[in-house]
Amino acid sequence: MKILQVVPYFYPAWAYGGPAKLVYDTSKYFAESGNEVIVYTSDSYDQNSRMPKNKYVTDIPNLNIRYFKNLNNHLAYVYNIFITPGIILRSLTEFYKFDVIHIHDFYTTQNIWITLLALLYHKPYILSVHGCLEEKRIAQRSLFKKLFLSFFGRNMLIKASLVIATSPNEVTAYKEYEIPESRIVLCGHGVDLNEFVTKVTKLEARKHFHLNQKDIVVTFLGRIHQIKGLDNLVKAIRMVEDKNIHFVIAGSNDGYLPTLKKDIKKYKLNNKITLVGTCFGEEKSQLFKASDIFVYPSYSEGFSLGILEAAAAGLPLIITTGCHFDEVGKQKAGIIVTPDEKKIADAIKKLCVDQELRQKFGQNAKQLINTQYSMKAIGDKFINFYKKVL
């Protein structure tokens, strides 16, 4: 198959969140499985810079990443408005070649054009909105997103050959837009277990992050954004009085970092919390190695890559109902709580005092990824979806 993947930002543009990495992983798997894959994306890297040329993905057979210049990084980062005229010109010359189009994200101007071309060329397209239609996010959407949904988004959803839901909650969200159940498929994301294997010992990893060897380390890794529930996490940390429990908050700033720092200072938690910034690659593996528990207090998620990665590294999980990942509870891979500071604090205390429970949850978390969310399992599902629409 000749597959076109369309995503407004691409790995390693971590500042924009998980979809950049998810599209990279699946595209790589499709290419390694013998398919020809083209990715249309922008050169956006973070709020202030474009993707450095030395970070372009260029060395994978059958995978060709087309980076198009985005005219305004501020609009892209703050408002999700990507302006990439190059996509229009390039797609006109090669769109006829593709068998199937997979569109990622939702509120982007590129999607309007690509959807129009797919309809004109009678090409099937699949849409993954990555949580954009979740109830809490809909309530917080900007004027641009409201207009987008009214004038373009509903039509994009209705005309899609398939829409991908990453949780039962997202299935419900799609149904509210009158999409037939036959065109909604439930499928999570995939991760590579080997990606989080490191030769560094726990002792060395803790030295790298300046963490005490005797502490129990509880880690959050994700975008530093208001929706991630870090306000509740900080308040929960206040309730955890054990001085041998330390917290790490890692991830790229998505507008909430100044408020987070202010709260940490306000509650006098500087000695209990370490902020380490963005972590990826080997450093992310080392951070997981240095940790004992992974916490994700989000108010709302499509399907968190950070949770999957922590589980793949064998960490016991504390997540919220807003993460929409019920398998964590069913498979005894961690604790699921409501997005409430006291509930989060109680879950942290429970795991910190029970090493045997931590080990059991960590083993189950890794097994959950291995059996249900490996890159092969998820990648093969997507290939079958493509064959279905063809």
Closest residue by Cα to residue 188 from 124, 107, 106, 128: 128
Q: Which CATH number fits domain 194-372: 3.30.360.10, 3.40.50.300, 3.40.50.2000, 3.90.1150.10?
A: 3.40.50.2000
Q: Class of the 2-190+374-389 domain?
A: alpha beta
pTM of the predicted protein model:
0.88
Task: Tell me whether domains 2-190+374-389 and 194-372 share a fold.
Answer: yes
Break the chain into its structural domains and give their ranges.
Answer: 2-190+374-389, 194-372
Backbone region of residue 251 per phi and psi (left: phi > 0; alpha: psi in -120 to 50; beta: other values) = left
Q: List per-residue pLDDT tens for the chain, 390 residues long.
A: 999 999 999 999 988 888 899 999 999 999 999 999 999 999 999 888 999 999 999 999 999 999 999 999 888 888 878 999 999 999 999 999 999 999 999 988 899 999 999 999 999 999 999 988 876 665 556 677 788 888 999 999 999 999 999 988 899 989 999 899 999 999 999 998 888 889 999 999 999 999 999 999 999 999 999 999 999 999 999 999 999 999 999 998 988 999 999 999 999 999 999 999 989 889 999 999 999 999 999 998 888 889 999 999 999 999 999 999 999 999 999 999 999 999 999 999 999 999 999 999 999 999 999 999 999 999 999 999 999 999
CA atoms within a 13 Å half-sphere pointing along the CA-CB vector of 382: 36
64-93 CB burial, b ≥16 within 10 A, e <16 = ebbbbebeebebbbeebbbbbebbeeebee
pLDDT for 207-241, tens place per residue? 999 999 999 999 999 999 999 999 999 999 999 99
CA distance 297 to 58: 36
